[in-house]
Structure 1
Amino acid sequence: MKALYFNTSLKTGDETSNTSGLIQESRQILEGEGVTTEEVRIADFHLPFGMEPDMGADDEWPKLFNKLKEADIVIIGTPVWQGELSSICKLVLEKLDASSDETNDYGQPIYYNKVGGAIVTGNEDGGKQAAKTIIFVLQHLGFTIPPNGEAYWVGEAGPGPSYLEAGQESDFTKENVSVMSHNLAHLAKMFKATPIPTKGNT
């Protein structure tokens, strides 16, 4: 079992990311359930604008897409900016859409039998708004979303501390990430044993 986290922070991998902090909490839970995990900081890669699965020689999306195809669980993490998901997150959602014409070994959409989730961090508001967009796109493209398939930290209303400054002590967020991660693992294990049948969707 493999889980892939796309961290769509605007920060590169050599910078501290609050979104990565919450991702790490989820990774620990999934690894405790026997799932191998990997976090990819999208800002470290070059993804050209455009709705083609491969935009040319300098496009690194095909490399990331190959990782995704091997994953059973895919979680997209984003910071919140002005109440919305990050521009990089939007780009990743577009790339997922651009690659959605591929099919799996059974002739189903490539994202079938993959489980999706969302992680959001910020220090004002917009956690549910950002998660809603991610969750809708994932399920629309063929991912299956478990109950409570998102976890977030945005603090109290108005500017305030970020996740690494205060969110790690939040009982609500700790419960969120635990429920989400366990449900993701459970659903992915179900699909391993009993994939979605091909009738009507090939």
Structure 2
Amino acid sequence: MKALVINCTLKKSPDPSNTEALARVVTEQLEKDGVSVEFVRAVDLSIEPGVVSEAVREGDAWPGVHEKLLDAEILVIASPTWLGRPSSVAQQVLERMDAMLSETDDEDRPVAYNRVAGVVVTGNEDGAHHVISEIQGALADIGYTIPGQAWTYWHLGPGPGPDYLDDEKGRDWSHRTGRAMAANLYGVARALAERPVGPPPG
């Protein structure tokens, strides 16, 4: 089984990413269950704006990300919170994923069917549940199955403050929640592999 994490930080590599650091708590648990994990830091790629899976113009890196999405049974979108909302990078990724609404597999099912997804959020302000609901809502629209408690976050509350990598406060809760998230993603992905959802009725 494969998992893909799309890190929607605004920071390019090799800058440390708070969001990736928390996402790795989730993936460490997935790896304990034998899941193969790949990370993509979207901001490192030349992803053009658009709502198609094909390249918008020469050099557009999205088709390669799209292939990785179709190769993974588990998807994690990881985003920082800015102005109480998902990052602009996360929005761009979801806009490109919009094309998957009209893509079907060999059995005429939307290509996101029988795949599961969850969300990781970090920030030194409030708004985590809003970010989670926006991203999970979009992923559900696309066709992903969202297990119960398929998220974790680390936020210090209202106003500015230190980042996840700078402060131990709240980490234990975020890590426990992240491991539970991983277990739920893996459990539902296994169930769907054993009993896949069929195509929607005509």
The bucket for the TM-score relative to the shorter chain is: over 0.9
Does the Cα contact within 8 Å between 1:3 and 1:74 map onto a contact in 2? yes
Superposed CA deviations along residues 109-157 of structure 1, whole A, max 9, x for unmatched, are 0100000100000001111111111000001110000000111011133
**For structure 1, which runs of at least 5 residues remain unmatched after alignment?**
none
Partner residue, 1:57 = 58
Distance 1:139 1:197 in 2: 16
Name the CA shift for 1:112/1:16 in 2 (closer, same or farther; >3 Å).
same
Q: Match for 2:128: what amino acid?
A: G
Distance 1:114 1:147 in 2: 14
Superposed CA deviations along residues 29-53 of structure 1, whole A, max 9, x for unmatched, are 0000111111100011111112222
**For structure 2, which runs of at least 5 residues remain unmatched after alignment?**
none
| Per-residue deviation, 1:169 | 5.3
SS in 2 for 1:49: coil
Distance 1:131 1:108 in 2: 26
| Per-residue deviation, 1:101 | 1.4
Distance 2:199 2:80 in 1: 36
* 1:96-115 equivalences in 2 (<5 Å): 96-115=97-116
Q: Match for 1:49: what amino acid?
A: P
Does the Cα contact within 8 Å between 2:9 and 2:87 map onto a contact in 1? yes
Distance 1:168 1:38 in 2: 28
Superposed CA deviations along residues 71-109 of structure 1, whole A, max 9, x for unmatched, are 000010000111111000000010000233111221100
* 1:150-169 equivalences in 2 (<5 Å): 150-167=151-168
Distance 2:190 2:46 in 1: 33
* 1:108-123 equivalences in 2 (<5 Å): 108-123=109-124
Q: Match for 1:145: what amino acid?
A: I
Partner residue, 2:85 = 84
Does the Cα contact within 8 Å between 1:167 and 1:173 map onto a contact in 2? no
Does the Cα contact within 8 Å between 1:150 and 1:176 map onto a contact in 2? yes
Superposed CA deviations along residues 151-182 of structure 1, whole A, max 9, x for unmatched, are 10111332122111225752321221111110
| Per-residue deviation, 1:13 | 2.0
Does the Cα contact within 8 Å between 1:151 and 1:180 map onto a contact in 2? yes
Partner residue, 2:132 = 131
Partner residue, 1:31 = 31
Name the CA shift for 1:105/1:82 in 2 (closer, same or farther; >3 Å).
same
Partner residue, 1:68 = 69
| Per-residue deviation, 1:199 | 5.2
Q: How many residues align?
A: 201
Distance 1:51 1:183 in 2: 30
Greater shift in the superposed pair: 155-164 or 73-82: 155-164
Does the Cα contact within 8 Å between 2:51 and 2:97 map onto a contact in 1? no
Does the Cα contact within 8 Å between 2:111 and 2:143 map onto a contact in 1? yes
Q: Match for 2:113: what amino acid?
A: Y
Does the Cα contact within 8 Å between 2:110 and 2:199 map onto a contact in 1? no
| Per-residue deviation, 1:12 | 1.2
**Structure 1 runs (4+) greater than 4 angstroms displaced:** none
